[in-house]
Amino acid sequence: MSAALDPVDWLLFSLSRAFRSPLSVFVQIQGCVICLTLAIGWAFAAYVRNREINRMKDAMKCGNSFAFLCHDINELEHTNQVNLPRVTVVMPLKGFGEHNLHNWKSQITSLYGGPLEFLFVVESTEDPAYHAVSRLIRDFKGASFECLLCGFTSCLPDFIACFSAQDDVDAKIILAGLSTTCSQKIHNQLVGVERMHKDTKYVLFLDDDVRLHPGSIGALTAEMEKKPEIFIQTGYPLDLPSGSLGSYCIYEYHMPCSMGFATGGKTFFLWGGCMMMHADDFRRDNYGVVSGLRDGGYSDDMTLAAIAGAHKRLITSPPVAVFPHPLASDLSFSRYWNYLRKQTFVLESYISRVNWLMNRGLFSFHCYLSWGFVAPYFMAAVHIAAALQIYIKGYSYEETTCTTSGLLLASCLAICTLTELLSMWNLTRIEVQLCNMLSPEAPKLSLDYYNWSLIFVALLVDNFLYPISAFRSHFSQSINWSGIRYHLKNGKINKIERNRGRGPKFTDLGGKHLYGKKGAPPKASFLSSLARSLCQWHQPKKYEV
């Protein structure tokens, strides 16, 4: 047979035959099962998010114009608002990028009715974020609350009457200095906690790439008040890809994790971009939260999740805690790779033997599933290519010893893939709708610009690269995060290197400038960008850029 066939065709047909072995058939069936499992998980997550949408619609039908804030309009009565607990929002900052201004505005214009303070924590005045935040705070402190929230008045005429008592923004900038025993982000968070108000009951940690809804802080606080046993409340981002393959890879990377946050209640997952905790847990170092973070901590969410697991503490994620997360318009593939490296590197940090074992298990499980997801597509491509060669060159199946069973497996994989993509599309559609309802004053998000062909490619690329990144992180035991190189030993940071002349000048997702000149404001006019953003507040578009 080999003499009658072209060498390339012979190799192709040989591979097709090999991929019909029992082990290969198992791998291909396993790929179908992985696709269907993801589809089922996303369908359940969509059900939870859609249930919240229906609750809001029912509340609106009953006359509650403020359903995006709370289901029971009586909660907005003055007698209830004056008794709300004090919340401190701590935002560790690094750099300044294209979406930060809008994100910060969404955070400090929260419609939480209780005492609220915002602490923007930067490393030093050399950080480009320092001057941008300084001007933002100065402008917002001089403006009335009615002016800041003018976007609501067009659709909710009676809105101002409920919240006109809040006419100032309590916001401060804190210079944290350099970290020496933990990551710079954790250092900034702990410095912020030290400086929070003495009467603060809850502390909310937010990343600067989180775009809050007006009622987000109120919803998180209400849940903490309702269930004091909650240790941490969290949420998850809805990625808004910018169009590049790298941005779609990040969207695809986050989507499987999103089902763990769409439980409507208890979860084992934690996202460091949004975490609300009891302030007293930090004042008293309950469960070792401060020491665990301070003494060699690299990842805030992984460390706190490990502490919660070790002490059997409750983590919850309310159904409204999904936040638009616009990705940088110039997000390159190399920056996606840097981001993936940071995500896999967190599995190398741990606080206990049990935590180490869990991370090793997660490492192995994720790597196995990633390549177990990609391998069937390679096999299916070989089966399809072999069938095309037989058809084009007129070979008989007897001559090539190929059968149609390979095409049957490829067809099953195609059906499962379409089911998976449809479920992913449905969850994204529902989360877009939920975000639009939770932020009625903001530019409307849209599903129209999502490129589903690129999303399929991103599925393959991200799952192929994940094990490579994970193994590199395991053997290197060091990572460059926002221009700072951290070295781990026994799961904790034991060496920190800073060199402004080396490393990236931009962050991975937001494309933020990491370095600025000491004492020098940014080149672009901050006031003009603020005015432009306010003018465009009502213009419908897919997201603010």
Average pLDDT over residues 261-272: 90
pLDDT at 129 over 60: yes
Who contacts 150 (Cβ-Cβ below 8 Å, separation ≥6)?
A: none
Amino acid identity of residue 364, one-letter, is: S
Rounded to the nearest integer, the mean pLDDT of the chain is 84
For the ranges 90-99, 178-187, 298-307, 449-458, which has the lowest average pLDDT?
A: 90-99
Residue 388 contacts by C-beta under 8 Å, 6 or more apart in sequence?
A: none
Helices in 394-499 by DSSP H: which ranges? 397-400, 405-438, 452-476
Which domains are present in the chain? 84-343 (3.90.550.10)
- For residues 391-418, give the mean pLDDT: 81
Measured CA to CA, the distance from residue 112 to residue 235 in angstroms comes to 17
Q: Residues 99, 102, 107, 111: is their CA dihedral positive or negative? A: negative
pLDDT digits (tens, 9 = 90+) for 323-363: 999 988 888 888 899 999 999 999 999 999 999 999 999 99
C-alpha to C-alpha distance for 407 and 74, rounded to whole angstroms = 61
Residue 91 bridge partners (DSSP): 120
Residue for token digits 């047979």? 1
Q: Of 186, 491, 494, 493, whose CA–CA distance to 352 is shortest?
A: 491
E strand or H helix that includes residue 229:
none
Q: Encoding tokens for residue 249?
A: 């890879």
Q: What is the DSSP string of 462-525?
A: HHHHHHHHHHHHHHH-EEEETTEEEEEETTEEEEEEE-TTSS-SB-SSS--B----TT---SS-
CA dihedral 34, 416, 11, 457 (to 10 degrees): -80
Distances, alpha carbon 216 to alpha carbons 57, 210, 221, 317, 336, in Å: 18, 11, 9, 12, 29
Are the C-beta atoms of residues 212 and 87 closer than 8 Å to each other? Answer: no
Order of strands across the sheet that contains 492-498: 478-481, 484-489, 492-498
Q: What is the CA radius of gyration of the chain?
A: 25
What is the mean predicted confidence (pLDDT) over 419-428? 97
The whole-model pTM stands at: 0.85
Per-residue pLDDT, 393: 75
Nearest CA to 53 out of 297, 264, 269, 306 is that of 264
Closest CA to 324 of 422, 421, 216, 228: 216
Residue % of the chain over a pLDDT of 70: 84
